[in-house]
Amino acid sequence: MEKDRLQSIANLAKLRFEESQLEGMLSDFNKIMAYVDKVKELDTKSVTEEEIYEWSENRVRPDILGQSMTRDEISKIAPKFENGYIVVPRVIET
Residue 49 located in a structural domain: no
Give residue 9's pLDDT band: very low, low, confident or very high (50, 70, 90).
confident
Answer whether residue 22 is part of any domain: yes
Query: How distant, in Å, are the alpha carbons of 13, 17, 59, 71, 88 from that of 74?
Result: 42, 45, 30, 5, 14
Which whole number is the average pLDDT over 4-14? 88
pTM, two decimals, is 0.45
Give the domain range for residue 11. Answer: 3-40
How many structural domains comprise the chain?
Answer: 1
**Predicted local distance difference test score (pLDDT) of residue 82:** 92
Distance between CA atoms of residues 26 and 7, nearest Å: 9
Q: Report residue 15's pLDDT band, with 50, 70 and 90 as the boundaries.
A: confident
pLDDT tens across 22-70, in order? 888 889 989 999 999 999 999 988 888 888 887 778 888 888 899 999 9
- Does residue 7 sit within a domain? yes
Taking the mean position of all CA atoms in its chain, how far away is CA 85? 29
* Residue 24 domain-assigned (yes or no): yes
